[in-house]
Each structure stands twice: as structure tokens, then as C-alpha cells.
Amino acid sequence: MCIYFCKDQFQGQLIKMITETLIKPPSPGMGFTAGSLMNDSLLQALGIRHVFASCGSEQDDHVNQVRTGGDWIMLATLGGGGTIAAGDGSFASLPTTLFLAPSGLCFEERAIRGAAWSWLCLRVGLAPGSPFLDLLPKQPWLGRPGLECFQCISDIVATLHGCPTGYRYVAVARLIVLLGILDRLIKRGKRPAISEAVDRACSLLCREPGRTWSVPELARRCGMSESSLAHRFHAETGDTPRRWLAAQRMREARRLLAGRISIKEVSERLGFSSRYHFTRVFTRLEGLPPGRFQRLATRR
């Protein structure tokens, strides 16, 4: 666990360092840095109407209603963060996460109390028939895309703001790379065709998320050898049973916390040895303590 914590912590620090080296967010309440590219023949050839890039920082009392209109919005959080209410869903936009809002969506963003929300944002307008339409989600999506994705967004913001020689080619090239990265991430996040055995394993894990499952027991319950189940599970879900169960526990934890279940009861239901152990794991994986998550999730 320490290895994963150090890796996540280091990556978060590296993302912040690289982003601030390229373009530092203004102080809270001081407006934002921005640049745009539109009415460009290169964009038109690619089915892109315009790109608007910005970087800023909001005070902790920030509340805003956002309409995407015909654009796709990509909101990358560098520090602080907040909650985003979109449709029936609520998303915790925390450092190193990226929120994607499809065109035609309305959502509310609300900063976390006690911390300035620093961010990078791209608004991308695509023309009908653009080849990139199939690469972006039709529903709101939030994930931790990693360093390469954040560096692409930082490059685009810095390039469109500074307008160096050849900036339009650099910005478009980085945007294409970014869309390719997001396409891989989103498709990987969707569950592919699952075999009957792996589907049964996933069902067992979901049915009893608080139980300590072993691969031998899962394999026996699914009628497979340990090696076959481990290989097929990873090939079809992109993860090991242990990590898949950890992610499932966090999804269930978020659901229970949003339903006003006490932290102690959530930790017991999900099989953690203590409330302290649950709080430590939740904070490491989600980026904020369960108590703060619950307050944010139940504020509305």
C-alpha cells in the first residue's frame, strides 16, 4: 500500500509542478488566464470549430452554474477542488482528476470549503461529422488520467495564451494526442465483453464487498483453475480481483456515505478492520477524508 501511496502522491506533485512551470494559475478571485483558437482552416479540416483554453483559481465559496452548450468541457483540478452536480450524479473533482462534460449538459460546481480550487479548462467545439465525436463520452465522466494527459492540457493552455511561432500547429497536435489518451481511458473504463466465469466472479465480489476473497476461493466458485481465472479476469477487466474489489468497495463507500450512513457503519459493512483503517484507505484513494466527502455529498 505504501508503494501505491507514494506513487500517487509523487504523480500529484509532479503534475502540479509541471503545470505551474508552464502556466501558473492566478490567485483566487483574480480572474483567469486564457487563449483561444477559432475560424482556423486547420481546425476546420479536422472537424473542430474552436478551442478555448483557460487556467484559474476560485475562492472556497465559489458556486457556479455551467452550460456546455455545443462544447465539450474538460476540467482538470490542480489543487483544492469541489463537487460537481450533473443530472442525477455527483462528482468529487479533486487534485489530479479530470471531469469531462458532454455537449448539451448543465452542471453546478461548488468549491470545497477551506481550499482554493485551482484548475485548467478546455472548451472544445466539434462540427457535425467530426471524427473526434466518437472519442468523447456522451455522459459526464470523471477519472484520474495521469501525468501525460495533464501535460497535454497544460501545453494547450500555455500555447494558446502565449501564441509563440507556430502555436496553432502545436496546440492542435497536443489536442489530438489528448483526445487519443482520453479515448483509451474511457474505453478502458467501460466494461468489455465479459465471459460467464469472470461475470460470476464480479457478481460474487459485488454481492459481498466486505468479505476477504481469495483467488483460490473465487476460482473454485467459478469452476476454473486459479491461473486461468487470474489471467482471464485481468484480460477482461484490466485489473486483478484484489484491486477490482478495492475499487468496488470505494464505489460502495461513496454510495453509503452519500446516503448518510455513519463512517463507522460503512467501515464495518465493507470489511475494514477499523474506522481508522477505512479512513486511511478512503483518503488515499479518493483524495479527501470520508467525513469531508460525506459533508460535500449531502450538502445539497
Residues 181, 245 within the same domain: no
Strand partners, 58: 117
pLDDT-derived band at 252, boundaries 50, 70, 90: confident
CB contact set of 151 (below 8 Å; sequence gap of 6+)? 15, 18, 19
* pLDDT at residue number 254: 81
Sign of CA dihedral 198, 192, 181, 35: negative
pLDDT-derived band at 192, boundaries 50, 70, 90: very low
* pLDDT at residue number 179: 92
Flag whether the pTM goes above 0.85.
Answer: no
Q: Is the pLDDT of residue 194 over 70?
A: no
What the block records as the C-alpha cell of 35 is 487563449
Q: State how beta strands 48-58 and 82-86 pair.
A: unpaired
The last residue of a domain, from among 133, 168, 189: 189
> Following CA atoms 203, 204, 208, 212 in sequence, which dihedral angle do they give, to the nearest 10 degrees?
-140
CB contact set of 167 (below 8 Å; sequence gap of 6+)? 159, 160
Q: Is the pLDDT of residue 260 over 80?
A: yes
Structural domain boundaries, residue 127: 2-189
| Contact call for residues 106 and 70 (beta carbons, < 8 A) | no
Residues 117, 263 within the same domain: no
* pLDDT at residue number 4: 31
Question: What does residue 93 show for φ and ψ, rounded to 5 degrees?
Answer: -90, 100
Q: Is the pLDDT of residue 21 over 70?
A: no
Q: How many domains does the chain have?
A: 2
Residue/partner pairs of 235-239 with CB below 8 Å, 24 or more apart: 236/192, 236/193, 236/194, 236/195, 236/198, 237/191, 237/194, 237/198, 237/202, 238/188
Q: pLDDT, tens digit, for every residue of 6-18?
A: 344 444 555 555 4
The whole-angstrom separation of Cα 277 and Cα 233 is 27
Residues 120, 179 within the same domain: yes
* pLDDT at residue number 265: 92
The last residue of a domain, from among 174, 189, 204: 189
Q: Compute how many other C-beta atoms are within 10 angstroms of the C-beta atom of residue 33.
A: 19
pLDDT-derived band at 229, boundaries 50, 70, 90: confident
Q: Is the pLDDT of residue 275 over 80?
A: yes
What the block records as the C-alpha cell of 189 is 473504463
Residues 70, 178 within the same domain: yes
The whole-angstrom separation of Cα 10 and Cα 175 is 25
Strand order across the beta sheet in which 71-79 lies: 32-38, 48-58, 117-126, 71-79, 98-101, 141-143
* Helix-helix angle 241-258:196-207, to 10 degrees: 40
Question: What does residue 89 show for φ and ψ, rounded to 5 degrees?
Answer: -105, 160
> Which CA distances in Å does 154 have to 8, 23, 159, 266?
19, 7, 8, 38
Residues 231, 163 within the same domain: no
Q: Is the pLDDT of residue 197 over 60?
A: yes
Q: What is the CATH number of the domain that holds 157?
A: 2.60.120.280
% of the chain at pLDDT higher than 90: 17
3-state secondary structure of 87: coil
Q: Mean pLDDT across the stretch 233-238? A: 73
Residues 202, 86 within the same domain: no
User: At residue 50, what is the residue type?
Assistant: H
* pLDDT at residue number 84: 87
246 or 23, which is more confident: 246
Rounded to the nearest integer, the mean pLDDT of the chain is 80
Residues 39, 166 within the same domain: yes
* Helix-helix angle 275-286:2-22, to 10 degrees: 30
Residues 179, 278 within the same domain: no
Q: Mean pLDDT across the stretch 267-275? A: 89
* pLDDT at residue number 15: 54
Q: Mean pLDDT across the stretch 276-299? A: 83
Q: Mean pLDDT across the stretch 209-220? A: 86
| Contact call for residues 263 and 275 (beta carbons, < 8 A) | yes
pLDDT-derived band at 189, boundaries 50, 70, 90: low
Q: Is the pLDDT of residue 2 over 70?
A: no
Residues 218, 106 within the same domain: no
Residues 116, 203 within the same domain: no
The last residue of a domain, from among 156, 189, 222: 189
20 or 289, which is more confident: 289
| Contact call for residues 85 and 132 (beta carbons, < 8 A) | no
What the block records as the C-alpha cell of 210 is 466486505
* pLDDT at residue number 82: 81
Q: What is the CATH number of the domain that holds 209?
A: 1.10.10.60
Q: pLDDT, tens digit, for every residue of 104-153?
A: 999 989 887 766 788 889 999 999 888 888 888 888 888 878 778 888 89
Residues 16, 100 within the same domain: yes
Residues 151, 280 within the same domain: no
Q: pLDDT, tens digit, for every residue of 45-99?
A: 889 999 999 888 888 778 889 999 989 999 998 877 888 888 767 777 877 789 9
Q: Is the pLDDT of residue 28 over 60?
A: no
